[in-house]
């Protein structure tokens, strides 16, 4: 987008109607040039009405996660201040790791309308249909020891829950370590990857996928009973751009708190969303299985599991509920 396109767009956002004469005078370009810029904006998907006597009116913005669109709603200082947008990409995490290695600043966001090789945790794939959901990866440069880096994914799950909560009040839960559920079905997932030395984190890539407007058909048959989207669950279409800006704000707030005060400072709120406390679970990690009842999280974000041999503090793993997923929704925070 040219500078003139951006300035015209900014005026159209601020004022209900702007005359061609005023735009031409303020931008110091001809009326014909104003018209050309309006045509360029239309080609980018902006719906702009033109009334001969009154001027131009912005009717609708494109439903795309464009830097300009997210940018004008941002209240952050770092998260989302640099945005790289792709129509189609293999995986935003792969691209963000490359940008991190090339020196991208903290908060840089690689976002895509569609991923052809969206990656999930534990080598799974992340279904990423076009222009209905949020797929984005942030470059982070945390001052944390590599051993504490998993806390970033936990904190991010809290941020995703905060961003989703207004869209489905009282129905969002977090399943440790970092799945977000809506009515007990998975609505968002987080994949963190690290560029680190043994004792120093160079960068963390925080990849987030949130099912916002996907229809049931978008999910493969085997996932339909396990996954959902906000639209499927609530019937309401989500403004993806507004969601992306809200997510950036929530992430910056929890990330800064984590770095300043440690995971302990986020624990109370995390627990209000946690759906595992008191549940009987099996946790598998690197071929090891632990069974027991979840007591909660400790101050480092480890899951405290009461098992036959006493309490175990678990750093990472894949959790299965022994009694199934019924009742998870009612355990989520009532906010």
Task: Identify which of 100, 139, 135, 131 has the alpha carbon closest to the alpha carbon of residue 119.
Answer: 135
Min dist CB 184 to ligand BTN, Å, is: 15
Strands (E) across the chain are located at 47-51, 55-60, 83-89, 109-115, 134-140, 172-175, 179-182, 185-196, 201-210, 280-285, 288-297, 303-307, 310-314, 318-321
Q: Does 137 bind ligand BTN (CB under 6 A)?
A: yes
Min dist CB 169 to ligand BTN, Å, is: 23
Tokens of 190: 């987080």
Nearer to ligand BTN, 23 or 205 (CB): 205
Q: Are strands 172-175 and 179-182 parallel, antiparallel or unpaired?
A: antiparallel
Tokens of 36: 């050309």
Nearer to ligand BTN, 120 or 296 (CB): 120
Q: Does 303 bind ligand BTN (CB under 6 A)?
A: no
Q: Does 92 bind ligand BTN (CB under 6 A)?
A: yes
H/E element, 182: strand 179-182
- The single residue among 79, 126, 176, 243 that binds ligand BTN, judged by CB under 6 A, is 126
Q: Are strands 134-140 and 109-115 parallel, antiparallel or unpaired?
A: antiparallel
- Binding segment for ligand BTN (CB under 6 A), chosen from 24-32, 39-47, 116-124, 239-247, is 116-124
- Binding segment for ligand BTN (CB under 6 A), chosen from 112-120, 235-243, 249-257, 289-297, is 112-120
Min dist CB 327 to ligand BTN, Å, is: 22
Say how many residues touch ligand BTN, by CB under 6 A.
20
Sign for the pseudo-dihedral over CA of 140, 141, 143, 146: positive
Tokens of 234: 């609530």
Contact 111, 86 (CB under 8 A): yes
Q: Does 118 bind ligand BTN (CB under 6 A)?
A: yes
Residues 176-195 that bind ligand BTN (CB under 6 A): 179, 189-191
Contact 159, 149 (CB under 8 A): no
Contact pattern from residue 144 through residue 183 relative to ligand BTN, giving x for each residue in contact according to CB under 6 A and a dash for the rest:
-----------------------------------x----
Task: Give the span between the Cα atoms of 102 and 98, in whole angstroms.
Answer: 6
- The single residue among 46, 79, 135, 138 that binds ligand BTN, judged by CB under 6 A, is 135
Nearer to ligand BTN, 9 or 206 (CB): 206
Task: Give the span between the Cα atoms of 210 and 189, in whole angstroms.
Answer: 7
Q: Does 115 bind ligand BTN (CB under 6 A)?
A: yes
Q: Does 209 bind ligand BTN (CB under 6 A)?
A: yes
Min dist CB 187 to ligand BTN, Å, is: 10
Task: Give the span between the Cα atoms of 56 and 78, in whole angstroms.
Answer: 33
Which residues lie near ligand BTN (CB under 6 A)?
91-93, 115, 118-121, 124, 126, 135-137, 179, 189-191, 207-209
């Amino acid at each position: 987008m040219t500078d003139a396109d951006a300035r015209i767009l900014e005026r159209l956002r601020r004022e209900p109607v702007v005359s061609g004469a005023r735009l031409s005078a303020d931008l110091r370009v001809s009326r014909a040039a104003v018209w050309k810029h309006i045509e360029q904006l239309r080609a980018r998907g902006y719906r702009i009405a033109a009334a001969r006597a009154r001027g131009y009116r912005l009717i609708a913005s494109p439903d795309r996660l464009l830097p300009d669109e997210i940018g004008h709603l941002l209240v952050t200082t770092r998260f989302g201040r640099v945005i790289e947008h792709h129509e189609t990409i293999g995986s935003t995490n792969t691209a963000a790791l490359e940008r991190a290695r090339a020196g991208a600043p903290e908060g840089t966001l690689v976002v895509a309308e569609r991923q052809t090789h969206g990656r999930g945790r534990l080598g799974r794939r992340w279904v990423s249909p076009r222009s209905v959901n949020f797929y984005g990866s942030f470059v982070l440069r945390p001052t944390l020891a590599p051993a504490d880096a998993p806390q970033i994914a936990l904190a991010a799950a809290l941020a995703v829950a905060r961003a989703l909560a207004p869209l489905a009040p009282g129905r969002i839960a977090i399943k440790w370590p970092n799945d977000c559920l809506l009515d007990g079905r998975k609505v968002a997932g987080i994949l963190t990857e690290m560029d680190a030395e043994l004792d120093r984190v160079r960068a963390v890539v925080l990849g987030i996928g949130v099912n916002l407007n996907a229809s049931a058909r978008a999910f493969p048959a085997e996932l339909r009973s396990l996954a959902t989207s906000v639209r499927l669950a609530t019937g309401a279409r989500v403004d993806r751009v507004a969601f992306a800006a809200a997510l950036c704000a929530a992430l910056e707030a929890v990330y800064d708190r984590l770095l300043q005060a440690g995971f302990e400072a986020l624990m109370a709120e995390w627990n209000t969303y946690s759906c595992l406390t008191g549940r009987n679970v099996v946790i598998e990690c690197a071929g090891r299985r632990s069974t027991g009842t979840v007591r909660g999280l400790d101050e480092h974000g480890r899951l405290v599991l009461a098992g036959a041999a006493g309490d175990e503090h678990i750093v990472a793993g894949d959790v299965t509920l022994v009694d199934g997923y019924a009742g998870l929704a009612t355990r989520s925070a009532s906010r």
